[in-house]
Amino acid sequence: MKCVNDFRLQLGKRELVPVVVGGMGVDISRAELALEAARLGGIGHISDAMVPTVSDRRFQTRFVSEKAKLYKYNAANSDKSKVLFDLGRLAEATHNHVGRTMEAKRGEGLIFINCMEKLTMNAPRETLRVRLTSALDAGIDGITLSAGLHLGSFALMESHPRFRDAKLGIIVSSLRALQIFLRKNARLNRLPDFVVVEGPLAGGHLGFGMDWAEYDLRTIVAEIQQYLAAEKLDIPLIPAGGIFTGSDAVSYLENGAAAVQVATRFTATHECGLPDKVKQEYLKASEDEIEVNLISPTGYPMRMLKGSPAIGAGIRPNCEAYGYLLDGTGNCSYITAYNREVEAHPDAKKLSVMDKTCLCTHMRNFDCWTCGHYTYRLKDTTRRLGDGTYQLLTAEHVFRDYQFSTDNKIALPPEPQ
Ligand SMILES: Cc1cc2nc3c(=O)[nH]c(=O)nc-3n(C[C@H](O)[C@H](O)[C@H](O)COP(=O)(O)O)c2cc1C
C-alpha cells in the first residue's frame, strides 16, 4: 500500500515531499509553521495579508501606529479615499517578514508567500506590485496568487530579475478561471510553475458561490487535467480542500496530482499562529458549528466557526490603522453596513452588524475563526487531556502523518509527559 512518501513533487530542479502547507492569513500560517514544512522537505507558506501589522507584532516595528497617527483626522469620516498606504513602508514591512523568514530557513524544502489579490488596500495595482516585488527582493522561493483572479499579477512582476526563476503559481477553483488566466498571460511567455486547484471544502475564502456544496474537488481536478493534456501543457497540479489523511493525499497523487495542499490539520499545531485558546475552539468544534457565510467584505463566501466573535460585531471601521479591504476608491462594504446601523440606532451604545464584518480588525485579532470543512474531525487527530482540553500537536507530527500514514489511519501524538 502506497504512502505520500512514495511520490515526489518535481519543481524545476527541486525534488520535494509532495505536501504543501497552504497559506493562512493573517499570520495563522506563521513563519514557524512554514519553516517546519520546509525543514521536513515540503513547501510551507507564509501569508502576505496585513504584513505591516504582522511585522509590528513580530519585530516591534510601528507601521500601524504611524499610519493611524497620520490619518487620525479622518477617523470619523466615512470617506476613506485619502487613507493610503505608504509604498516605501509597505516594502519595508514585506522585507522584514519575508527576509527574516528566509534567513531562518533550514532543510531542503521551500517557502512560498500566499498573496491575496482581494487585499485591494485603496490602491490595488500599486500595493500589489510592491507586495509581490518586495517579496521577490527579500528572497522568497515562490509566490502563490490567491483570492481574486490575478489576471495582471504576472505582468506586475515582469521586469523583476527573479520573474523567471522564482516559482510562481496560482490558485483556481475552476477550469474556466485557469483558462482565463492563461489567455490573459499568454504574451508573457511564462506559464505558472504550479496550479493549486482548491475545492469547496477549503478554509478561508471560497472560489465558489453559496452553491459551493454542489461542487467536488475530484471532478474539477479531472477537468483541468484533461484540458492540460489536450493542450499539451505540463503544469503540476496541486489539489486542496478536504484532504485530511495521507490516504486521501495518495488517492490524488496516484491519479496524477503533483502534490497536495493542506491546512486545516495544521491549525491544531503549536507552530500555527492562532492563540492556543482559539486552537481549542477549532479542536472541539462539531460539524453543525461550522458555516459558510457572506460576511466578508470581499464578496467571497467564507467558511468559519459560528462562534467567531467577528460575527455580528459592530465595531467602528479602523481603516486609518488597517484599511486592507478598501477598494480603489476608498470603499469597503463593512463601512456601508456599519453606517446604516449607526443611522438606524443613533442612540445605541453598542451596535451589531450582522451582514458584514470588519475583517481587518477581526482577522488581525484572531476573532474571525475561519476554518476548513473538516475542522470537526480535528478532535480525532489528538488526545483529550485530563482538564478536558485537547493536546496540541507538533507540525512535524502532522506533516509526517501525511507523509507516511496508510489505510486512512491518523497517528495520535505521543502521550504528554
Ligand atoms: C484557517 C485557515 C485560513 C486560511 N487562509 C487562507 C488565506 O489567507 N489565503 C488562501 O489562499 N487560502 C487560505 N486558506 C486555504 C488553505 O490555504 C488551503 O488551500 C485549504 O484550506 C486546504 O484545505 P484543508 O484546510 O481542508 O486542508 C485558509 C485555510 C484555513 C484552514
**pLDDT at residue 417, as a whole number:** 76
pLDDT for res 17: 98
* Model pTM score: 0.98
Report the pLDDT value the prediction gives residue 327, as an integer from 0 to 100: 95
pLDDT, residue 406, reads: 97
CA distance 40 to 341: 50
Q: How much distance in Å is there from the Cα of 114 to the middle of ligand 1?
A: 10
Q: If you take atom 29 of ligand 1, which residue's CA is the nearest one?
A: 203
pLDDT at 147: 81
- In eight-state DSSP terms, residue 269 is B
Query: Which has the closest alpha carbon to 314: 347, 342, 283, 275?
Result: 342
d(CA 283, CA 201): 17
**Ligand 1 atom nearest residue 373's Cα:** 26
Using CA atoms, how far apart are residues 278 and 233, in angstroms rounded to an integer? 43
Which residue reads 465595531 in cell numbers?
315
Q: How many CB atoms lie within 10 A of CB 349?
A: 5
Cell representation of residue 231: 493542450
Helix (H, G, I), strand (E, B) or coil at 399: helix
The pLDDT of residue 358 is 98
**What is the structure's pLDDT at 197?**
98
Assess contact for 100 and 31: CB atoms under 8 A: yes
Q: What is the pLDDT of residue 148?
A: 86
Closest ligand 1 atom to Cα of 196: 19
Nearest ligand 1 atom to the CA of 262 is: 27
Q: Distance between CA atoms of 99 and 134, rounded to whole angstroms?
A: 10
| Residue 282 CB-density burial (10 A; 0-12 exposed, 13-18 middle, 19+ buried) | buried
CA gyration radius for the chain?
21
Q: Which residues of the chain have pLDDT under 50?
A: none
- CA terminus-to-terminus distance, the chain: 33
Rounded Cα–Cα distance for residues 350 and 310 (Å): 14
CA 186 to each of CA 133, 166, 236: distance values in angstroms, whole numbers, following the listed order: 21, 18, 18
- Ligand 1 atom nearest to 371, measured from its CA: 31
Query: CA 306 to CA 271: how far, in whole Å?
Result: 24
Distance 203 CA to ligand 1 centre (A): 4
Residue type, 385: L
Tell me the angle at which helices 51-59 and 87-103 cross, rounded to the nearest 10 degrees: 60
What is the pLDDT at residue 198? 98
Pair 237, 225: CB distance under 8 Å = yes
User: Which residues' Cβ are closer than 6 Å to ligand 1?
Assistant: 22-25, 28, 47, 49, 114, 116, 146-147, 171, 198, 201-204, 240-243, 261-264, 267, 370-372, 374
What distance in angstroms lies between residue 265's CA and the mean position of ligand 1's atoms?
10
- Return all residues near 46 (Cβ < 8 A) that are at least 6 apart: 23, 29, 30, 31, 34, 97, 98, 101, 111, 112, 113, 114
